[in-house]
Structures are given as C-alpha cells and as structure tokens.
Chain A
C-alpha cells in the first residue's frame, strides 16, 4: 500500500512537472491576398500619317504607305485557364479615303502569355481580333515593348483615288476576356 502511495505521489509530481515544462497553447491569424483580374492597355502614341505619294516611275501604281512605329502595351492577370484577346475597330463614321483600305497587323513579342497575332485585318467598325491567347503577362514598358502595330493604307482602286482626300480616324483597341 505504501508503495502504491509512493507511486501515485510520483505520478502526480511528474504530471506537475510536465505541466510546468511542456505547457503550450496556440493562436492563429489569417492572411488573405487577393490578386485581382487586371486588364490595363495603352499605346505608345499615334502612327505617322499614311500618305499616298507619287510612284518613282510614271505609270506605276503608288506604293501602299505604312507605319509600324507604335506598340500596344498591356498588363493582364487572369484566373487559371482564362485568356483574353486584343481587338481593334474604328468608329461607325470613320473610313479610309476612297479607293483605299486601312489594314492592321499586331505582332506580340512572342514571350509567354503575350498572345499570338491574328494576322492582318482590314479595319471596320466591328471589333476584330488582332491578338488572341493573352494570359497573365506584362509586355514591358520600353519604347518597343508590347505588340507592334503595323498599319498599311492599301490602295485597292487606283481610279477611285481623290487627291486631297484626307481622313483622320480613331482606332480603338480593346483588351477583353474571351
């Protein structure tokens, strides 16, 4: 009986020491970070004027004037599995000079998630894809970062050209979810 009491006292003492030595409690805190869907688009400026000029040799057709000095820069964050596209259009009242069409090709840099060119489009008032498959990316902000915008004023009908016919149009680029 005495041995049992000694054992009990020992157990109680050990429990007491355990409480003294190994007591621990916990508390927690939640950290939440929300990456929002970001769709930010800008252009580096306006293209140079596209002017139909005289050919070098009389009797030739004039060359198609071009401008490829501007870029569309974009920053995009999307949810997993979502992509975006870059579209272009002009206003319903806009149009090319008689006998001409305005064509546009957007060429991304080929870096991951910056999308693929849809090739050359003819500008209309209907938004048309110029780059597709854009994921989460940032094209960069240097002078030549982003999708290069190559405009061509294509002379389609020589006999319809009117000297002095001047059109100023506004091209709208839109970065939109698929």
Chain B
C-alpha cells in the first residue's frame, strides 16, 4: 500500500508542476505603430520646424494577459533600438480597462517614457484581454537626419 501511496504523491506533485507551467501567465500584443513624418507636418510652411509630438490612435496596440489563473501579475516594458535617435522620447499609456476576461488591470494611464531599462507599466490580476494602449513620440525636429528609425518595445508579463 505504501509504494502505491508514494507513487500517487509523486504523480500529484508532477501534475502540480506541469499545471503551473501550463498556467503561466502569457502576454499577447497585437498591432504596431508606424508614422511617416514629412512636409505636411511642418508647423507653419517654409522655414518652420516639424511638429515635435506625435500620438498614435488610442487603440493602436491591444494587450492581453491570459493563463494567470487567480494570480497577480505586472507588465514591464523596455525598448530595444534598431536605429533610433537620441532626441526621440517614446512613451506609452493604457487607454481602457480591457474588454474581456474576469481579471483587472491597474496603473499605466499616464504616459510612461519607455527606455532601454525595464520598468513596470501596469499591474493586474487574473486574465484580462482587450487592453488598449496608445503611444506618443516627442522630440521630433528638423535637426534629426532624414531616415527610418525603428525600435522594438518589449512587453514582459511577470507573475507576482
């Protein structure tokens, strides 16, 4: 009887591990932001500078966190530059509370400057999807050489 009980305990523990791994919170990001800045963005015709600030649509990016079970989580953001300009200031904010799932999301409703260092953007509990995000770029001027600039925003969900 005792060997059977031991096997059962080991099975249950293995199942516990597998369940945890299978239930790890997962983040999904949908959408990207691309903006061409040209002569139409001058503030006042010939001789004027470019508009300094550009914002995406309020629902430019959709974020969802699933597989969180009943657990709390946070989402960290950071930037990985491909070609970027030092004058650019890229920020992000949350524009709704999500549209589906039993969970909640809090924080992040004010613009957070995205840097190369990971920072907490929002926190939440349980599954929540349909969270809309808006991005903003500051620091544009004619002193920035004409070319395409690309950066990748890395979103990481961490269970807490």
Contacts and interface: CB of A to CB of B under 8 A. Distances in A.
B153 interface: yes
Interface bracket on A? 35 or more
B150 A77 contact: no
B24 to A, nearest CB: 3
Given A33-B137, A35-B144, A136-B143, A25 B149 contact: no
Q: Which of A8, A35, A41, A139 has the most CB of B within 10 A?
A: A35
A178 interface: no
Interface in A1-40: 5, 8-9, 12-13, 15-16, 19-40
Contacts of A35: 37, 140, 144-149
Interface residues of B, number: 61
A75 B51 CA distance: 13
B35 A42 contact: no
Which of B47, B142, B154 has most A Cβ within 10 Å? B47
A76 interface: yes
Interface in B11-51: 13-14, 16-17, 20-21, 23-29, 31-39, 42, 44-50
Contact of B144 (A19, A32, A136): A136
A75 B38 contact: no
Given A30-B152, A33-B149, A9 B13 contact: yes
B47 A77 contact: no
Nearest to B16: A16
A140 interface: yes
Contacts of B32: 29-32
Interface in B115-160: 135, 137, 140-159
Contacts of A139: 46-47
Contacts of A25: 24-27, 156-157
Given A25-B27, A31-B90, A19 B21 contact: yes
Interface of A: 5, 8-9, 12-13, 15-16, 19-42, 73-80, 113, 136-141, 145-146
12 contacts: A5-B6, A16-B17, A23-B21, A31-B152, A32-B32, A35-B140, A38-B42, A38-B142, A42-B45, A74-B46, A79-B145, A140-B47
